[in-house]
Amino acid sequence: MKTRLAFPRITAWILLCVVGSSLISADPALAKEKIAYRLKWLINASTAGDVFALDHGFFSEQGMDVAVKAGGPERDAVRELELGYAQFGVASADQVIRALAKGASVVVLAQLFQVNPLQWIYRADDFSLTRIQDLAGRTVGITYGGNDATIMRALLATVGMDEHQVRLASVRYDYTPFFQNQVTIWPVYRNTQGIFLSDKLAAGGERVAFFDPSEHGVRFVANSVVTSTQMMDHHPQRVGRFTRALLAGWQAAMAPANESAVIRAVAKYDRDTSEAVMRRQLTATRQMIQPDPDIPIGHIDATAWQQTEQIMIRQGLISGPVNVIGRLRRHHAP
Amino acid sequence: MLHRRVFQFFIVYLLGIGLLFGIKLALNLSDYVIPGPTGVWHTGQAEFSRYMGDVLDTFAVAVIGQVLSILMALGVGVAGRRATWFGSFIKVAAYNVQAYPIVAIAPILFILLGDGFLTRLFIAAMICYFPLLLSVIGIMSEPVVDIEHFYRVTGRLRWQLEVKIRAFENLHKLTTVISGSATLAMAGTIVAEFIAANAGIGYSIRIALYQSDLSKILVALFIIGITLSLYQGILELLGAGLKKAWAAG
């Protein structure tokens, strides 16, 4: 008899616990806000701060349950914001400006890279590139349609060089033409691919150098954190908390003392890069995220944004001004 | 037959693009996510001739790739039609190699052949070849008992005659498979251009994707579709003509 009564009692208790816990979690005061954050590219050293913020509870502290989603060539954070698949994302400046030119409502919350990691690698023993004019007659790799093509054209234009004075070669992810010396100046993300390529060439006894457009006056803005105008207008608190958590995550991730913890966080997603390489990638990333200790992480370089817009207008990539300055939100220190 | 193909393509394309515009309107999306009709029209006007040239470039490679595939599939299919060890080996090899994704093989081709014509041709032929081969093997290994029996009992059934009988009796199937493989050859060439070439419509689509320009992609899809519809229609006409001529002869 006792056993027969015990079963319904236990079932009732279990049901009560399940219903109770679901009611608690459904309470908006206690539940964490679910946020989707779409990155620009796959997770690697360039996204160290994003994954560190996630792994070390920076978002949780702000009451947010953030899903950091890897990007890729077919992913477009600005589109995802508009379609509601993501609430925050990372986009390059040219993406933002193109989107604005086509009527998208997007706001820039922070500029992650102060120095654009997109640079050109070459063999230092073969020649040296100290001036833009040194590119003349050389085979320069560009991704047609990509922002490296835009940057290279802008560089040539600054010194009045014609595109035909260099040999532009179409490149993609396969480095064979560079290894075989068919394309001698190759576009890379200096803090990630740049390290890996340097190692490969060093193994063959070759030294490399990098050609950095920002040193020649072209400051084309790279990855920045964006959200929709609607989110900004309707949920300014949420935007503030997200930005604070993210930039605090980046701040901590860029501290040399946290390097091992950052490597562990990134390595969870990037299993193909060795710890030694990642360490050097982080060192290079640090110099691009905060090249000047007086400038806070996430600082929006309005002049560089303006220059990026001007370059795109001059190259006919957008039909007219989009007033990108009006879409830059002043940075809140973490 | 031709005009029906083109008309059917127009219906499909307009339905697709209409659905996109409907979504844009319903969700109030910007031109960055889905371009408006005027944007697509203007892009069409600006890019049509350039994209047409690109599509014809791609199409030329696709046709050569398809012809190569047909010849290889017929050769290997005829050799592999018998229930022998070699026949079964060919079938197993065809099934297995078909399972390899082309994006994994492309970098190897890229190293061996560079990023030019040969890579595009090879990938187009690879994508088109295996489905063709499987169909040819299927057709060629199916005896036409009623007809073959007569020649077999009179001792006149040589392998050439066997192949002819089976091909003639399945000519409609073969024409359909070859016509269908045109789509695969075109898709294969576009994939090849997307990942490993500097020419053709696949390469232009890649650039448009970099620029987040869906209007250009919609224009490219239109030209690809209309070209393929015409080509498939012509292939079907040729198939029908061939059957008539063969039957008369």
- Minimum distance, in Å, between the CA of residue A62 and any CA atom of chain B: 31
Q: Are residues A134 and A231 in the same domain?
A: no
Chain A residue with minimal CA distance to B209?
A74
Q: Report the helix count and the strand count for chain A, using DSSP H and E.
A: 13, 10
Chain B residue with minimal CA distance to A74?
B209
Among A residues 157-196, those touching chain B with beta carbons less than 8 Å apart: 170, 172, 174, 176
> Is residue A86 within 8 Å of residue A80, measured between CB atoms?
yes
Residue in this structure with the two tokens 């595939």, named with its chain if needed = B69
Among A residues 41-70, those touching chain B with beta carbons less than 8 Å apart: none
At position A30, the amino acid (one-letter code) is L
DSSP state of A330: P
Residues 6+ apart with CB under 8 A from B105: B123, B126
Cβ of A212 under 8 Å from any chain B Cβ? no
Hey, are the CB atoms on A98 and B208 less than 8 Å from each other? no
Is A73 domain-assigned? yes
Q: Are residues A89 and A138 in the same domain?
A: no
Is A27 domain-assigned? no
Could you say which of A160, A193, A216 is where a domain stops? A216
pLDDT in tens, B169-220: 888 888 888 888 888 888 888 888 887 777 889 989 988 988 888 999 999 9
pTM: 0.79
Residues of chain B with Cβ-Cβ distance to A139 below 8 Å are: none
DSSP string across B121-182: HHHHHHHHHHHHHHHHHHHHTS--HHHHHHHHHTT---HHHHHHHHHHHTHHHHHHHHHHHH
Of the listed ranges A38-52, B4-18, B51-65, B136-150, the least confidently predicted one is B136-150
Q: Are residues A168 and A289 in the same domain?
A: no
- Minimum distance, in Å, between the CA of residue A208 and any CA atom of chain B: 23
> Is residue A31 within 8 Å of residue A23, measured between CB atoms?
no
Q: Are residues A227 and A314 in the same domain?
A: yes
Residues of chain A with Cβ-Cβ distance to B29 below 8 Å are: 82-83
Q: Are residues A110 and A124 in the same domain?
A: no
Domain definitions of chain B by residue range: 2-248
> Is residue A53 within 8 Å of residue A248, measured between CB atoms?
yes
Torsion of CA A85, A87, A92, A94, to 10 degrees: 80
Residue in this structure with the two tokens 């539940």, named with its chain if needed = A31
Residues of chain A with Cβ-Cβ distance to B206 below 8 Å are: 145
- Minimum distance, in Å, between the CA of residue B45 and any CA atom of chain A: 16
> What whole-number distance in Å separates Cα of residue B137 and Cα of residue B95?
12
Structural domain of residue A238, as residue ranges?
Answer: 33-115+221-327
Chain B residue with minimal CA distance to A146?
B210
Is A240 domain-assigned? yes
Query: Cα Rg for chain A, rounded, in angstroms?
Result: 24
- For each of chain A's 334 residues, which pLDDT tens digit applies? 455 556 566 666 666 555 555 544 444 445 778 999 999 989 999 999 999 999 999 999 999 999 999 988 778 999 999 999 999 999 999 999 999 999 999 999 999 999 999 999 999 999 999 999 999 999 999 998 888 998 999 999 889 898 889 999 988 777 888 998 999 999 999 999 999 899 989 998 999 999 999 999 899 999 999 999 999 999 999 999 999 999 999 999 999 999 999 999 999 998 888 999 999 999 999 999 999 999 999 999 999 999 999 998 998 888 899 999 999 986 544 4
Q: How many independent structural domains does chain A possess?
A: 2
Cβ of A316 under 8 Å from any chain B Cβ? no
Is A90 domain-assigned? yes
The interaxial angle of helices B171-196 and B159-169, nearest 10 deg, is: 90
> What whole-number distance in Å separates Cα of residue B246 and Cα of residue A299?
76
Residues of chain A with Cβ-Cβ distance to B39 below 8 Å are: 102
Kindly list the distances between the CA atom of residue B114 and the CA atoms of A166, A173, B107, B195, in Å, as whole numbers in the listed order. Answer: 22, 13, 9, 12
Cβ of A29 under 8 Å from any chain B Cβ? no
Is A128 domain-assigned? yes
Residues 6+ apart with CB under 8 A from B107: A174, B196
Q: What is the mean pLDDT of residues B147-176?
A: 82
Could you say which of A161, A190, A216 is where a domain stops? A216
DSSP string across A93-129: HHHHHHHHHTT--EEEEEES-SS--EEEEEETTT---
pLDDT (0 to 100) of residue A1: 47
Hey, are the CB atoms on A78 and B27 less than 8 Å from each other? no
Structure tokens at A214: 């920002």
pLDDT (0 to 100) of residue A15: 60
Could you say which of A216, A239, A274 is where a domain stops? A216
Q: Are residues A79 and A200 in the same domain?
A: no
Residues of chain B with Cβ-Cβ distance to A315 below 8 Å are: none
Q: What is the CATH number of the domain that holds A135?
A: 3.40.190.10
- Phi/psi zone of residue A38: left (φ > 0), alpha (ψ -120 to 50 degrees), beta? beta
Residue in this structure with the two tokens 């294969």, named with its chain if needed = B188
pLDDT (0 to 100) of residue A29: 45
Q: Are residues A170 and A289 in the same domain?
A: no
Q: Are residues A134 and A199 in the same domain?
A: yes
Classified by CATH at the fold level, domain B2-248 comes out as MetI-like fold (1.10.3720)
Task: Band the pLDDT of B57: cuts 50, 70, 90.
Answer: very high
Chain B residue with minimal CA distance to A96?
B32
Closest Cβ opposite residue A102 in set B32, B198, B203: B32
ipTM of the complex: 0.78
Closest Cβ opposite residue A174 in set B29, B32, B107: B107
> What whole-number distance in Å separates Cα of residue A267 and Cα of residue A196?
16
Is A4 domain-assigned? no
Q: Are residues A73 and A166 in the same domain?
A: no
DSSP state of A333: P
Between vectors from CA B42 to CA A325 and to CA A168, what angle results, nearest 5°? 70
Is A251 domain-assigned? yes
pLDDT (0 to 100) of residue A30: 52
> What whole-number distance in Å separates Cα of residue A183 and Cα of residue A177?
5
Residues of chain B with Cβ-Cβ distance to A99 below 8 Å are: 30, 32, 212
Is A12 domain-assigned? no
Hey, are the CB atoms on B207 and A103 less than 8 Å from each other? no
